[in-house]
Amino acid sequence: MRLRSLLSSTLGFVAIASSTAVDQATLNACPGYELHNVKTQGLTLLADLSIRGKACDLFGPDVEELLLNVTYETSTRLHVKITDPNLARYEVPESVLPRPTSDDHALTPQAADIQFNYTASPFSFSVLRTSTREVLFTTGSHPLIFEPQYLRLTTDLPQNANLYGLGEHTDTFRLPTHNYTRTLWSRDAYGVPNGTNLYGNHPVYFEHRDTGTHGIFLVNSNGMDIKIDDSTPGKTTLEYDVIGGVLDFYFLAGSESDPTEVARQYAQIVGTPAEAPYWSFGLHQCRFGYQNYIDVAGVISNYSIANIPLETMWTDIDYMYKRQVFTLDPDYFPLPRMREIVDYLHSHNQRYVLMTDPAVAYLPDQGYGPYDRGSALDIWLKAPNGSFSLGAVWPGVTVFPDWFNSDAQEYWSNEFAMFYDPQTGLDIDGAWIDMNEPSSFCSYPCTDPFEQAVQQDLPPARTSSPPNPTAPIFVSNTGSSEHLSKRVSHKGENLQFPPYEINNADGSLSNKTSDTEAVHANGMVEYDVHNLYGTMMSTATHNAMLSRRPGLRTLVITRSTFSGAGRHVGKWLGDNFSNWEHYRNSISGILNMASVFHVPMIGADICGYAEDTTESLCARWAMLGAFYPFMRNHNADTSISQEFYRWQTVAQAARNALDVRYRLMDYIYTAFHKASVDGTPVLNPLWYIYPRDPNTFPIDLQFFFGPSILVSPVTEENATSVSVYLPRDTFYDFSTLTPIQGDGRNIMLDNVNLTSIPVYIRSGAVLPLRTAGAMTTTQLRKTDFEVIVAPNNTGEASGSLYMDDGVSITQNATTEVTMTFSGNTLNVRGSFDYPTGVKVSRVRFLDVSKAPREVFLNGQMIGKSAIQHDTDSKVLDVALDIPFSENFTVHVD
């Protein structure tokens, strides 16, 4: 075919000649499409696609005519969309995931950082990095397949590609590339087994090369397999196999030098993470299996006795009457005693959170308000015949809120306002939502949920006697609706068993979840929007908490997520096990959520959820968990108790790790604020910081907490040593502040006892640390700062600090400070509109070989008594004891 440019080069849409024959044997002689009727207007290309020959009809009839829409939205973002112009197909609603628009009116395609090229016949396209002409994505010899219930698009990638994302999953952070399938279909994944689909769905991946990092985001919530394989010598392929919707891609140019830039570009699409309340960074405690209010109060007391900081107490579904949401069991968790617990916590500057599930007990004519009020508003998900779509969950037979119903938000906010009323109910501080895939215990076909509930003993009976309702406690511590322009048609399609069967670990798409044929108020079917359910419940819960606590930031922790969930909520990694594999897996899990998917308030159940932990595992996990953004100990009702105070070793490990976490609280709070502004990750894999070091690309047992704190936990059972990779850079031991030179290899750290965890400061950082830990974050905010200066090999360092009131959505005053060190001078500059109320007690300069002759504060010499130098650790301490309310400089001569 003759090479020809259909547009001038200034428009950036370039046609290229085909160079690779279609592999007809592999693709069952699928003909692909031919592009014609190309039209361009400014930054947009529109073209028709027509099937080239006899349709292959792999999993249904090929759609014969398609529409291609390509738009340069920003200099770094290209939007490519392929749809059926003759039939309305499902697309992810903008009410769930709002789309960005371009406001760069000066942009021209030729000036963009990535370029769209295409071949007309057979149609294929590629995306190139403009500066290097490097191909980032190419459909090459792989024919496009577009059928009613099957879409396939394949790209060629380099051999040994470094791919990250495509989750949620418990596989390695760098994805395997040999015969590997990632399946996206939300399910209740007890035990979070490797290689299976789990609770959340984020169809985005980042690819890192020596030449830069870029990202690909497919906006599609239908079930899909994403297959990665390197069986063909010399190359790797990534194949999308999707069972509905459209092909709606965003291509992100990323950066040639800074991998975190692609994360910021992705945030421009899915939204930046929400600001988190300061208190949410404290320690949280929960378990499934607290038998009554006395158990709950006892745990609170015992944490205090053990001198372990407890910020927030949580309670699982145990508190409910017969597992019914928005109820309290009057015998086991009576309202007056529960209010006593909440009042006690609040009087001690602590918080309380309860679980709320989406499944509402189906109890018509039985006076159950949450069901009756929802029925009156007609907000339940419906079966195809118009009746309520039923499942079997903890309370027995249930209905499910339809979050697309225009009255669903009103219903949910009202239930929260009534049950969690500060005057008459329980004044919770945050919300925990679970089972929102949505989960059902009813196996497909769920023809008789009533029988299923009986067979599974739902709701489960209490196994203990109710407590004395007047028993003393706390004695031991005296020391929306979406409208479509055209209704989506699924006529003649099999929504239970589509022709292409994705690799769903639960088999049938409707097994143990909502029925795929269930109908929403706007006519959408669960087949299309299933993967959105958890995120939509998250948004509704976020809004409900805003309604009952106007002006205050929310903490909502969810289990199921879709792209964009982090705008409103945090997440935990689900029902893991108390074993070393899941301890290790949690690191890649938090990295995926925080550094790729923009759900940074992320953690795993510390010490494990299911099965029995051990003392050594729990001690190690308490220390690792101190570097999860969301730090919560939580386990199952069938497991032994694992509160940190149960073992002396674990208690000491927790105290040690929490002391470090709380001293770093303002550092990580600052990182969260930056993430909320521009999407800069709060956790970083090593390759984000050292993108030219190939040894870092597969590492997922070490990570950076914020930009400068390297965490290297012990990851093997019974081990007291750990192999730590240190890139070619200077690091400082966090506990001793002594320097160590990394040279791009692993070093063995010995004698790492059960109450310590290797933590290093990366050189080039200035850290604002609290001088000590505290029992609550309220107390912590009254603790003075010290500034740590950790210079790099050129004698420079920098850092920042952001402070506000910690709870308000809109801030009347903030303190924002930059700290730079150069030429032996520390400059602290900024605005101090929010009163810190504390002092800077000292500055600690690291890697200082000899004592200085003189030190100056704001040009005035400091007395010798305020200066101490340790020749062994090379730490120079300069006592200041000045109010942290204005700029200052410290010069070392």
- pLDDT at 27 (0 to 100): 66
- Provide the residue type at 745 as one letter: R
Render pLDDT for 364-409 as a digit per residue (tens, 0 to 9). 999 999 999 999 999 999 999 999 999 999 999 999 999 999 999 9
Overall average pLDDT of the 142-168 stretch: 97
- Whether 307 shows a pLDDT value over 70: the answer reads yes
For residues 845-867, give the mean pLDDT. 97
* Predicted pLDDT of residue 29: 76
State pLDDT tens for residues 33-42.
999 999 999 9
Confidence label for 19 from pLDDT (cuts 50, 70 and 90): very low
| pLDDT at residue 28 in the model | 52
Q: Can you give the pLDDT at residue 475?
A: 61
Q: What is the pLDDT of residues 256-297, one digit of tens each?
A: 999 999 999 999 999 999 999 999 999 999 999 999 999 999
Residue 619's pLDDT is 98
CA distance 156 to 23: 14
Phi, psi at 300, each rounded to 5°:
-60, -45
pLDDT of residue 141: 87
Of 709, 726, 863, 710, residue with least CA distance to 799: 709
- Mean pLDDT for 809-834 is 98
- DSSP H/E element including 217: strand 212-218
Decide if pLDDT at 784 tops 60: yes
Answer yes or no: are the C-beta atoms of 125 and 469 closer than 8 Å.
Answer: no
Q: State residue 260's pLDDT score.
A: 98
**Exposed/middle/buried for residue 830 (C-beta within 10 Å: 0-12, 13-18, 19+):** middle
Q: Which is it for strands 730-733 and 739-741: parallel, antiparallel or unpaired?
A: antiparallel
pLDDT for the residue 126:
98
The active-site residue out of 225, 437, 666, 700 is: 437
437 belongs to the catalytic site: yes
What span, in angstroms and rounded, lies between the C-alpha atoms of 298 and 278? 26
pLDDT exceeds 90 at position 15: no
- Grade residue 489 by pLDDT with cuts at 50, 70 and 90: confident
The helix or strand, by DSSP H or E, that contains position 659, with its residue range, turns out to be helix 648-663
Which residue among 241, 256, 357, 434 is the active-site one? Answer: 434
pLDDT at 22: 35
Q: Which CATH architecture has domain 9-270?
A: Sandwich (2.60)
3-state SS assignment for residue 511: coil
Query: What global pTM score does this model have?
Result: 0.96
Q: How far apart are CA 153 and CA 120, in angstroms?
A: 16
Of the candidates 789, 822, 801, 656, the one whose C-alpha atom is nearest the C-alpha of residue 735 is 656
What's the average model confidence in pLDDT over 528-532? 98
Question: What percentage of the chain exceeds 90 in pLDDT?
Answer: 93
pLDDT at 607 exceeding the cut of 80 = yes
Q: What is the pLDDT of residue 485?
A: 42
User: E strand or H helix at 145, and its extent?
Assistant: strand 145-147
CATH 2.60.40.1760 maps onto the chain at 9-270
Residue 105 — very low, low, confident or very high, per pLDDT cuts 50/70/90? Answer: confident
Query: What would the mean pLDDT of 763-768 be, rounded to a whole number?
Result: 98
- The mean predicted confidence, pLDDT, of the chain is 94
- Per-residue pLDDT at 488: 86
Taking alpha carbons only, the member of 38, 41, 48, 49 closest to residue 15 is 38
Task: Give the Cα separation of 645 and 653 in Å (integer).
Answer: 10
When pLDDT is cut at 50, 70 and 90, the band that residue 235 belongs to is confident
Residue 481, pLDDT score: 39
* 426-452 burial code (b ≥16 CB/10 A, e <16): bbbbbbbbbbbbbbbbbebebeebeeb
CATH 1.20.1090.10 for the 672-892 domain, yes or no: no
What's the first-to-final CA gap in the chain, in angstroms? 72
25 confidence band (pLDDT: 50, 70, 90): low
Catalytic residue of the set 156, 575, 666, 700: 575
Cross-strand pairs, 62: none
User: What mean pLDDT comes out for the span 533-553?
Assistant: 98
**Residues in Cβ contact with 150 at an 8 Å cutoff, skipping those fewer than 6 apart:** 58, 59, 60, 241, 242, 243, 498, 499, 500
Kindly report, as residue ranges, where domains of CATH 3.20.20.80 are found in the chain: 278-554
Q: What kind of architecture, by CATH, is found in domain 278-554?
A: Alpha-Beta Barrel (3.20)
Confidence of residue 486 (pLDDT cuts 50, 70, 90): low
pLDDT at 3: 26
pLDDT per residue as tens digits for the range 434-483: 999 999 999 999 999 999 999 999 999 999 999 999 999 986 443 343 44
> Is the pLDDT assigned to residue 429 strictly greater than 50?
yes
Where in the chain do CATH 2.60.40.1180 domains reside?
672-892
User: For residue 11, is pLDDT > 60?
Assistant: no
Lowest-confidence range among 3-17, 127-141, 304-318? 3-17
Q: What is the 3-state secondary structure (H, E, C) of 787-847?
A: EEEECCCCCCEEEEEEECCCCECCCCCCEEEEEEEECCEEEEEEEECCCCCCEEEEEEECC
Give the separation between CA 878 and CA 888, rounded to whole angstroms.
13
Residue 340, pLDDT above cutoff 60: yes
Known catalytic membership, residue 65: no
Q: Tokens in use for 387?
A: 């009746």
